[in-house]
Structure 1
Amino acid sequence: MKNENVPTAWSAWRVVEGEGLNDFAEILYEKKMHAELGGGIARITLNKPDKMNTLTLATVDEMFRAFYDANHDPAIGVIVIAGKGKHFGAGGDVEWERWGLREAFYNRYPHNRLMRLSRKPIIAQVQGYCIAGHNHMAYCCDFTIAADNAIFGQAGPRVSSPADGFFVPYLTKVVGAKKAREMWMLCRKYKAPEALQMGLINTVVPFAELEAEVDRWCEEMLAVSPGCLEVLKASFDQEMDGYKESCVTSAAMYPDWFDMPEGKEGGAAFLAKRKARFWDIRQREAEARRELLADYEAQHAPADK
């Protein structure tokens, strides 16, 4: 338990105000300063606990504005991404994704780009579920500090939500190729101790100590040259530059994915709380192809000599 009589070097969190920063509905944006070290932290908290902090493009737009401000504030040394409530987050809002993913895939940027282009080091502060988009957002951060109740994993193939681009193969650099494919293709879930063993996260602490542990890591970074950290982060992040941008492969392989039955089935099954019937759809597709081929051959059979 924290001793209230012991003075803290940290100021209280204050909500950031200013042009473009006053109307956030999906995030909470705060800063606090360290009296002894001189620098500060910017914290972006996903603020939809009633929906497990699910993501939409509106969330990403608000995150962009907060990231922009934090990266242009010379007093800020570290950015923390957190989630309000019991969970860090459960990925994209499946109901929104039924249409919104079209815009996200073909006309916008993924939230991971904010991690990739940030000048300041980023810590993901994770408790509870860290699934799908939240998981790959966390592993694209420079550090991930997890509570002992954290659970990590991907979910895209379960809900017909394809993903491609730099953040998919980048996981091979974090946990190795075999584990990365296992996580993405099998949609398994991993508790915090296993995630630590895999190298997916940096450390695990009791939930009650999570924020204090993040503060300690921030203090270590504020004690060294912020300019050097920015150069190092940019150097490490070059690892992602050799990979394709998001959605290039998906758009080439399945340009009409979201209008195909298989593309619709995962989300529909999730919302209906039933098992997805992907292979029923594939069987019907195979039958339709056979019928189409037979019809074509019957119409274009060579005339008897």
Structure 2
Amino acid sequence: MSQLKHSAQDKLERLDGFHVSIDARTGRADVVLARPPFNIISMAQRDQLRLVFESLDENDEVRVIVLRAEGEHFSSGGDIKGFLEASPEHVSKLAWNIAAPARCSKPVIAVNQGYCFGVGFEISLACDFRIVTDTTLYALPEQKLGQIPGSGGSARLQKMVGITRTKDVVMRSRRVPGRQAYDWGIATEFVPLAELEAATDSLVKELLFFSPLAQRTAKKLLNDTDDATLSVAIELEGHCYSRLRSSDDFREGVEAFHGKRAPKFIGS
């Protein structure tokens, strides 16, 4: 039988507009947008970002993933010309690619400074945590192009802030400053720009303390029950709790609690 091949092999050989670093010692991986000055996200880059998140999800050395950018802006959005050149089939996959951080079983932190527009905002919304500063501006400006958000932006935002505020942002292409995003519940933390790196490091360290198994379980449960009824959500929560009840990490947590010591979780 001939050797199996997949297009993904070629797509990961040369990353377009971003790079990845993995610190196996700490369990942290950084996905860094690097197309200055505005870190525009190309069509090819969307495919690659999905593949990178899938790869990091399977990497046992990685516990927490940080999505950040070089320079003063996270991303001003996508490559506008690329939309006209892409086929309808390709465009139909955009939302699936940008949802990769949400599907990833590990915690993902978006570090958002400066412009965070269009797909830059959408991929941040697909992350689990968003840290913003006094420079951050969120926006879904597609109405200015005669379009609507196409990678989950309006849908995820409406889940977070409700239909009234989402219409205000989407239908008016309105920009939301970092402080307001925090007040609305879009952002997890609001810090001065000078403290952004320290706040990111602190959150990573905090997440690394917990059981990776319990973290993965909590993320999947919360994602899966986001649009479930209360009774279904409680039922699923009970099943997840029951499964963790027999885990090594839960036993370690209980023994550490009674022994008045810090737990050493192993992820099983």
**TM-score bracket relative to the smaller structure:** 0.7 to 0.9
Give the match for residue 285 of structure 1: none
2:77 to 91, 112, 132: 91
Q: 1:144-183, CA deviations, whole angstroms, 9 ceiling, x for partnerless residues?
A: 0012211111111111233357542232221222112211
Give unmatched runs, 5+ long, in structure 1: 1-17, 243-305
Q: 1:273-305, CA deviations, whole angstroms, 9 ceiling, x for partnerless residues?
A: xxxxxxxxxxxxxxxxxxxxxxxxxxxxxxxxx
The percent identity for this pair of structures is: 25
Displacement, 1:235?
1.3
Are 2:218 and 1:232 aligned?
Answer: yes
Are 2:15 and 1:29 aligned?
Answer: no
1:68 to 38, 45, 54: 54
Q: How has the CA–CA distance of structure 1 residues 101 and 86 changed in structure 2, closer, same or farther, with 3 Å as cutoff?
A: farther
Q: 1:201-244, CA deviations, whole angstroms, 9 ceiling, x for partnerless residues?
A: 011112222122111001111000011111111112225678xx
Give the match for residue 279 of structure 1: none
Give the match for residue 154 of structure 1: 140
Q: TM-score, normalised to structure 1's length? A: 0.66
- Structure 2 distance, partners of 1:92, 1:202, is 24
Displacement, 1:29?
0.4
Amino acid at match of 1:181: K
CA contact (8 A) 2:83 2:91 kept: no
Are 2:196 and 1:210 aligned?
Answer: yes
- Structure 2 distance, partners of 1:211, 1:101, is 39
Three-state SS of the structure 2 residue aligned to 1:55 is coil
CA contact (8 A) 1:154 1:187 kept: yes
Give the match for residue 129 of structure 2: 143
Give the match for residue 31 of structure 2: 44
Instruction: State the structure with more CA Rg.
Output: 1
Displacement, 1:143?
0.4
CA contact (8 A) 1:166 1:241 kept: no
2:159 to 145, 149, 173: 173
- Structure 1 distance, partners of 2:134, 2:149, is 28
Q: TM-score, normalised to structure 2's length? A: 0.74
CA contact (8 A) 1:31 1:43 kept: yes
Figure out how many residues of one structure are paired with residues of the other and give that number. Answer: 220
